[in-house]
Amino acid sequence: MTKRSLGPPPTTRARRNIDLTCGRIMGVEVVYDTEVEGGRSPGLLTEMLFHGESNSTHLIAAEAYSRDKWHLYDESIVALTTPAAADALAWFPRRQTWRSTAQQSADPAFPTRQPGC
């Protein structure tokens, strides 16, 4: 019996030319999930939203199992350009819709950021 290679499996991993945040980070928002493992865990940092000078990058501890199957709490990181992009995906287990924690700021060095900016 001989082994036949079917080639590499399809992937949703490598992407080029994604407009991720570069340069100075103006602010960071995080999600500390205390409901992970049904509340039996002390919690887990699951999402970070980096606000740059011109755009934002949303990082989620998750993995794409396929284009329509996204799993939270994975050892991989999913990078998206906006929280709205994450909200539009089908997550397992169910992911809460992003709610910004940005505070109003009078300091021009730390401008107020709107969700998804």
CA angle 20, 25, 27 (to 5 degrees): 110
pLDDT digits (tens, 9 = 90+) for 57-88: 999 999 999 888 899 988 899 999 889 999 99
Task: Give the model's pLDDT for residue 13.
Answer: 55
**With left for phi above 0 and alpha for psi between -120 and 50, is residue 29 left, alpha or beta?**
beta
Place of tokens 């990181």: 77
Q: Mean of the pLDDT values across residues 7-33?
A: 73
Q: Which pTM does this prediction carry?
A: 0.70
Close Cβ partners of 5 (under 8 Å, ≥ 6 residues apart): none
Q: Indicate the range of 34-43, 72-81, 82-91, 101-110 predicted with least confidence.
A: 101-110
